[in-house]
Amino acid sequence: MVQGPGVGEDAAILRVGDMLLVTHSDPITGAVERIGWLAVNVNANDVATRGARPRWFLSSILLPESSEEEVVSKICKQIHKAALDLGVAVVGGHSEVTPGLNHPVVVGCMMGLAEDGRYVTTHDVKPGSAIILTKGAGVEGTAILASDRSDVLEKRFSGRFLQRARIYFRRISVVKDAMTAFSVGGVFSMHDPTEGGVAGGLHEMADASGTGFRVESERILVSPITQRICEFFEIDPLQLIGSGALLISADKTLAEEIVRALSCERIEASIIGEFTSKPRERVIGSKAGVKPLPRPISDHLWIALSRDKTWSSLSKAGSTSSVREG
Amino acid sequence: MVQGPGVGEDAAILRVGDMLLVTHSDPITGAVERIGWLAVNVNANDVATRGARPRWFLSSILLPESSEEEVVSKICKQIHKAALDLGVAVVGGHSEVTPGLNHPVVVGCMMGLAEDGRYVTTHDVKPGSAIILTKGAGVEGTAILASDRSDVLEKRFSGRFLQRARIYFRRISVVKDAMTAFSVGGVFSMHDPTEGGVAGGLHEMADASGTGFRVESERILVSPITQRICEFFEIDPLQLIGSGALLISADKTLAEEIVRALSCERIEASIIGEFTSKPRERVIGSKAGVKPLPRPISDHLWIALSRDKTWSSLSKAGSTSSVREG
């Protein structure tokens, strides 16, 4: 074992002869609609953040007793499609009816190879390195809220706007982001922020490597769609579940080249700051000055999901929100 | 991919550089008491039946919302202990509370290496080869029934008898069986019969390889404890869930040596018959003659589990059972 379990470490790395095998297993338990698709992509992300191309996938599909055969069929088709898109082979699987379960669960296990024995870990972040963020904050959260809170969002936003927000699911893979950045060189560490969003991801990388960070608020991509949904629910996009974005610790002399290479692959990316040698320095700068970046206690998704059905930030007395749908 | 999904195929085989990686993933959904221990052992069995020593384990632990912290702790300790006993490294894991689940589920993923590139598959059964069975029929089912149907069994059997039956769980690993047999040589195929018991396992091997088989009833080990419990419930030990036993297709000239090697490791084994070139020939011989070996429709465990609480085969009118507890 080269890399086993650890805080913020996304995947295990195992020595297999001359090769390094990267492997990760995660369940999808809360998303019925795209469950098979997510099982492949979420596990692929954690292998790719090691710098390894995902290659092989195994799944366990657990279904409630009432399940129709078409549910299995749909999940398997999603797995097949997602695997095909990533160039991954589905090498095995198990499906069963599990008494005592009221919704499907898919547990995936992804394996990949660290080519030429090169890989990165979360704790390899270097002080003085540039921090690159791809795609932006709150990608997954935007899609989840547009799907699951349409009850309140459709009072404010058009169907077309919400449809555009829902298809943020398509941005959830960071495999191309990670493979592209890693192929340029100068990458010390990569991490995909999930629960706790970009803020949580930055703290996890700093925790794992004993570093601090300084980031600039204006440089962090937050799409207008994400921005509006977060303003509506009065939540922080930096603390909203963020699968789809990739955080990279990169050599400063190569950071611009990595951003250009990502751009050639049509992946938006920006240099948002740098990691520092002071573990207690975890700050975000803006026009208003420099302040500590909050360490999320729980993901802001849960705040938005628990808002009352009549929730509307505009309806509140004294609201000064300037959000308008364009 | 060297070996992907297929009927009766227990694990996938992947080429990693010069090495062959054997991997398998299965959930444990119905056994709360030993769930962590089973997750390691059941997945290890499927890797070992390829002739590969299990090496690395990943787990996903899903818990109901009401779970106490000690449940996770207990499951993790079981995983640790089982892995330690098998010389397996736990390389990663995930645990979470999963809403909509009313009992714990553990999904394991085991990986191992086919040393020197040698492995067997279920479809490699050779016509004319000897069939070796280790430990005997219904091992797992015996333990499950002694644990879960003590309500009726304790009317007939002593606490000591049932305790001896319950610890049949300790026999569930076939890793040593498989490693020992494979190291002798002359092994064409191995398979661990689970649901459908030894009868189901034989049919699966024959299906996968396009062969038939002839086995002798008297040569199939059925322990006295298993025999008594099966007679009590009026079920067939050969169709009772059989993890713990290993079916081996072996070169006839080496079969006796394999049985001796197993015996040196204190593993009971016997040559129960042979695979034949006639796919339709699937027979069992006894003093009463030769007849087709039933292909289990469903495991006889379910028959026994669904027996009425007042069930007792002796209480039935006209019973001629000669079962007595010794």
B323 vs B242, higher pLDDT: B242
Look at residue B320 and tell me if it is in a domain: no
Partner residue opposite A25 with nearest CB, options B14, B58, B103:
B58
How far is residue A145 from each of residues A130, A139, A228, A240, B164, measured CA to CA in Å? Answer: 31, 10, 12, 10, 55
Taking the CA of residue B31 and the nearest CA in chain A, the distance in Å comes to 12
Q: Is the domain of B20 the same as that of B90?
A: yes
**Dihedral angle computed from the Cα positions of residues B310, B315, B317 and B322, in that order, rounded to the nearest 10 degrees:** 140
Q: Is the domain of B285 the same as that of B191?
A: yes
Q: Which residues contact A244 (CB under 8 A, 6 or more apart)?
A: A135, A139, A140, A168, A171, A172, A173, A174
Interface of A with B in 167-196 (CB under 8 A): none
Domain that holds residue B61: 12-117
> Domain ends where: A117, A136, A152?
A117
Taking the CA of residue A220 and the nearest CA in chain B, the distance in Å comes to 30
> Domain ends where: A117, A134, A163?
A117
Taking the CA of residue B82 and the nearest CA in chain A, the distance in Å comes to 18
Q: Is A60 on the interface with B (CB under 8 A)?
A: yes
Q: Is the domain of A160 the same as that of A255?
A: yes
Beta-carbon separation of B24 and A92 below 8 A: yes
Look at residue A22 and tell me if it is in a domain: yes
Helix (H, G, I), strand (E, B) or coil at B252: helix
Q: Is A32 on the interface with B (CB under 8 A)?
A: no
Percent of chain B exceeding pLDDT 70 equals 93
What pLDDT is stored for residue A106 in this prediction? 95
* Residues of chain A contacting B67 with CB distance shorter than 8 Å: none
Look at residue B248 and tell me if it is in a domain: yes
Q: Is the domain of B135 the same as that of B208?
A: yes
Look at residue B3 and tell me if it is in a domain: no
Q: Which residues contact B88 (CB under 8 A, 6 or more apart)?
A: B40, B44, B54, B55, B56, B57, B82, B110
Beta-carbon separation of B27 and A62 below 8 A: yes
Q: Which residues contact A316 (CB under 8 A, 6 or more apart)?
A: none
Look at residue B322 and tell me if it is in a domain: no
Percent of chain B exceeding pLDDT 90 equals 78
Domain with B26 in it: what CATH number? 3.30.1330.10
Q: Is the domain of B129 the same as that of B278?
A: yes
Beta-carbon separation of B107 and A111 below 8 A: no
* Residues of chain A contacting B90 with CB distance shorter than 8 Å: 4-5
Helix (H, G, I), strand (E, B) or coil at A132: strand
pLDDT at B318 over 50: no
Q: Is the domain of A63 the same as that of A136?
A: no
Q: Is the domain of A34 the same as that of A133?
A: no
Confidence of residue B324 (pLDDT cuts 50, 70, 90): very low
Between CA B159 and CA B167, with CA B163 as vertex, the angle to 5 degrees is: 170
Q: What is the pLDDT of residues B66-78, one digit of tens each?
A: 888 899 999 999 9
> Domain ends where: B117, B147, B176?
B117
Q: How many domains does chain A have?
A: 2
Q: What is the pLDDT of residues A259-279, one digit of tens each?
A: 999 999 999 999 999 999 999
Look at residue B158 and tell me if it is in a domain: yes
ipTM of the complex: 0.79
Q: Is the domain of A128 the same as that of A158?
A: yes
Look at residue B20 and tell me if it is in a domain: yes
What pLDDT is stored for residue A1 in this prediction? 63
> What tokens appear for B61 in the block?
């632990």
Partner residue opposite B93 with nearest CB, options A5, A17, A111:
A5
Domain with A284 in it: what CATH number? 3.90.650.10
